[in-house]
Amino acid sequence: MANTIVTRCCIAGGGPAGMMLGLLLARAGVDVVVLEKHGDFLRDFRGDTVHPSTLELMHELGLLPAFLQRPHDEAREIGVTLAGREWELADFSRLRTQCKFVALMPQWDFLDFVRDHAETFSGFHLMQNAEVTGLIEQDDCVTGVHVQTADGPLEVHADLVIGADGRHSTVRKAAGLAVRDLGAPIDVLWMRLPVAAGDTSTTGGRVGPGQFFVTLHRGSYWQCAYVIPKGGIDVLHAQGLPAFRNTLAQIAPMFADRVELLQSWDDIKLLSVSVDRLERWWKPGLLCIGDAAHAMSPIGGVGINLAIQDAVAAANILAAALAYPAYDRNALTPLLAQVQRRRLFPARVTQAAQVAIQNRVLTPLIGNGRKPIEAPWVLKLMQHWPILRALPAYAVGIGVRPEHIRSPRAG
């Protein structure tokens, strides 16, 4: 027989969306259980960019000074190396926010920080090594989840289940929610290379004939991303690791003396990119948010921040009702639809922009062989009119319909 837990809200997934929502609900006096299938948050090459919109939320919660005490790097501008020169693309100093930079922080540090503050509220319960394996349903209403733990099977019964378990969501699959695939013609290879004396400190991209390479300055190392056609990893494997190292040295000559440190394909992680969206994010007793509702492309690094915005909107709409026992599952259902209405527009616009960049910029770029690349006129215009760099900074750093903390604090 499975053990049983009863709670007001059960959140499947201890990523940015799940942990932030758990914090905000517990802060409002809601009893909430967060289920994380891993024993810790230590996973490489997850989204490590904390954008000004998320930093603004930390400020609204009164947590920003403590957050910035955690080790992090700050990217105040984004540049691109193209046609033999460096171009400035985005300038975050022009944003009207508390923090005019993108904080580069390992996601495990971000999640540790959110957990530490969530645990100051008695209603917050985090269970790790607890993998959601299915849903408990009654009369077409979700009433809980089946969980596999180190101690055996567990049932968590809840008035509301939140699916925040990522792009390969078990929850949304078990619920039978329809997924619309928007297409992703690219994959991304992630790797680390050490910083050396004389390196530039600018975070940005490097564009060459048939190549697109992103470098994020992380203080003691570079976090690097190399874009390849969808499924192109087999071609690279066939060509061999030495050929790939030579390719990296060509697109980024400053790494020519370091690419040998990539000694095996195990040092290079493949991110299979997908862009999709649920047609409906909810059913009675269940709501999906973050990548479980809308898987994002890594373009712009906005996925983690969009997921956090979902969590804030869900808390703004649901927290007071969940804190009030008279709101049963039936009374909560209209609020689930309200969360989707609030967050669908930002998801649509952001994904449309990502798909356009994938199809009109990256796919032609990485498929054009050795044809020389000219700087587009808009990039040249940004050099003459620096104020224009605020536009991409706003799109990346703030995004569409940013959320603010409106959920109550108990007491």
First and final C-alpha spacing in the chain: 39
CATH class of 3-182+274-397: alpha beta
Q: What is the mean pLDDT of residues 14-38?
A: 97
For the chain, what percent of residues have pLDDT higher than 70?
97
The pLDDT confidence band at residue 201, using thresholds 50, 70 and 90, is confident
Least confident of 58-62, 201-205, 219-223, 290-294: 201-205
Residue 397 CB neighbours (<10 A): 30
Higher per-residue confidence, 368 vs 357: 357
pLDDT at position 47, please?
63
**d(Cα 46, Cα 48) in Å, to the nearest integer?**
6
What confidence score (pLDDT) does residue 248 get? Answer: 93
Spatial CA neighbour of 240 closest among 258, 269, 265, 257: 265
Position 344: which residue type? L
pLDDT, one tens digit per residue, over 152-169 is 999 999 999 999 999 999
Distance between CA atoms of residues 380 and 276, nearest Å: 33
What pLDDT score was predicted for residue 192? 92
Cα torsion at 264, 269, 272, 276 (round to 10°)? 180
- What is this structure's pTM? 0.93
pLDDT in tens, 301-350: 899 999 999 999 999 999 999 999 888 888 999 999 999 999 999 999 99
pLDDT at 289: 98
Scored b (16 or more CB within 10 A) or e, 231-269 reads eebeebeeeebeebbebbbebbebbeebbeebeeeeebe
Amino acid letter, 127:
M
CA distances from 240 to 251, 257, 264, 358 (A): 17, 19, 10, 26
Query: pLDDT at residue 210 above 90?
Result: no
Question: Tens digits of per-residue pLDDT, 69-118?
Answer: 999 989 999 988 887 788 899 999 999 999 999 999 988 899 999 999 99
Confidence tier at 1 by pLDDT (50, 70, 90): low
Domain boundaries, the chain: 3-182+274-397, 186-270
> Is the sign of the CA dihedral 250, 252, 254, 258 positive or negative?
negative
